[in-house]
Amino acid sequence: MSGTPLDYIGHAAGSRAGAILPLTWFTLVVSIVVIVIIAALVLRASLRFRARGGASETVGVPVERGADGLRWITIGLALTAVPLLVTLVWTMAALAQVAGPPLANPGLVLDVTPHQWWWEVQYNGATPDAIFETANEIHIPTGTKVLVRLHGGDVIHSFWVPRLSGKTDAIPGQNNLSWLDADQPGVYRGQCAEYCGWQHAKMAFEVVAEPPAQFAAWRDHQLADAPQPTTPRIAQGQAIIVYRCGLCHAVRGTDAGARTAPDLTHLMSRRMIAAGVLPNTPGALLGWVQHPQGVKPDSLMPDQHLSGAELTAVGAYLETLR
Ligand code: CUA
């Protein structure tokens, strides 16, 4: 991520967003021009009316139709029809462009399940040992069409990566398909785009687009189990995580195997925590572990009330989950 905010909103980095963005700018500019013209006409009419003495409480406003009254309606209709027609045709063309090309033969297939308020991401493989899960951070190889199978979770959410792809809703009881690609390496912010409860705004994720070789290395690393503790303090931290966190979270290679919260096996490989809310720094991480309700009130993760020594041990263990 670099450059000015204008760069950020102004440039598409994927073929889907590339089809949508010029249309967005076009309709925005047309809308602004229409508002300006209408405002100018209203202003002109009211100033003229006032110049002629205006209305009083006892004298009604006479309805006049000058000889050229209908001409304005004709001009107005013609002016409206042209941009509407252009918008209609352009929208149809953009829709055709963003619809199904890679659905038949995608380069990568992801299963994404949104939850209040985080994103579960499953990478698939030909064999079970090639499947793994991560959360809130999606890695993709550049120049590859990625099919995203969206599974309905608890309530309606919407998957949106503005610079790469348009919005697709994830609806409970339904599977929707979306796709995206990135033409250059980078980190692209995604955001839930459907109001889904109190912490809807804090339901972000990141798409990390990497050259294919780098992506393959990342994928191989994600497949590995978490390392075993090498010191007593790390072992204590692992015991606390398994005992207290393992009912919701998974750490592959330990007894923590629940799937109702983000998989923590390679937690430290992620840039952000808490669904794009906090940077993944030691301080933010332990603050989040201890008091998540202060950061995301009403989220399902409870405050932990660990002692200082316990929190230090947890920090030492989490640090090894690279
Ligand atoms: Cu999920 Cu808004």
pLDDT per position as a tens digit, 168-179: 999 999 999 999
**Among 211, 215, 210, 142, CA closest to 182:** 142
User: What is d(CA 306, CA 291) in angstroms, rounded to the nearest whole number?
Assistant: 10
User: What is d(CA 318, CA 46) in angstroms, rounded to the nearest whole number?
Assistant: 68
The burial class, CB within 10 Å (0-12 / 13-18 / 19+), for 68 is exposed
Q: Is the CB of 157 under 6 A from ligand 1?
A: yes
Categorize the per-residue pLDDT at 282 as very low, low, confident or very high, splitting at 50, 70 and 90: very high
Q: How far is the CA of 169 from the centre of ligand 1 (A)?
A: 10
Categorize the per-residue pLDDT at 1 as very low, low, confident or very high, splitting at 50, 70 and 90: very low
Considering the chain, what is the average pLDDT of its residues? 90
**Sign of torsion, CA 187 289 160 222?**
positive
Contacts 24+ apart (CB under 8 A), 223-227: 223/129, 223/130, 223/132, 224/266, 225/252, 225/253, 225/265, 226/251, 226/252, 226/253, 226/254, 226/265, 226/266, 226/320, 226/321, 227/253, 227/320
User: What is d(CA 248, CA 50) in angstroms, rounded to the nearest whole number?
Assistant: 70
Residue 31 has pLDDT above 60, yes or no: yes
pTM, whole model, 2 decimals?
0.86
Whether the CB-CB separation of 251 and 227 falls below 8 Å is answered with no
Closest C-alpha residue for ligand 1 atom 1: 157
Q: What is the pLDDT of residues 72-129, one digit of tens each?
A: 788 888 888 998 999 999 999 999 888 865 667 788 999 999 999 999 999 998 888 8
Residue 183 has pLDDT above 60, yes or no: yes
Q: What is the pLDDT of residues 227-265, one digit of tens each?
A: 999 999 999 999 999 999 999 999 999 999 999 999 999
- The alpha-helical segments, DSSP class H, found in 52-127 are 69-98
Residue 55: per-residue pLDDT: 64
Residue 60 has pLDDT above 70, yes or no: no
> Looking at ligand 1, which atom is closest to the CA of residue 195?
2
Q: How far is the CA of 311 from the centre of ligand 1 (A)?
A: 30
The pair of three-digit structure tokens given for residue 149, joined into one six-digit string:
């199978």
Q: Is the CB of 194 under 6 A from ligand 1?
A: yes
User: What is d(CA 187, CA 271) in angstroms, rounded to the nearest whole number?
Assistant: 10
> Looking at ligand 1, which atom is closest to the CA of residue 197?
2
Q: How far is the CA of 193 from the centre of ligand 1 (A)?
A: 6
The pair of three-digit structure tokens given for residue 128, joined into one six-digit string:
């079970």
- What are phi and psi for residue 62, nearest 5 degrees? -70, 135
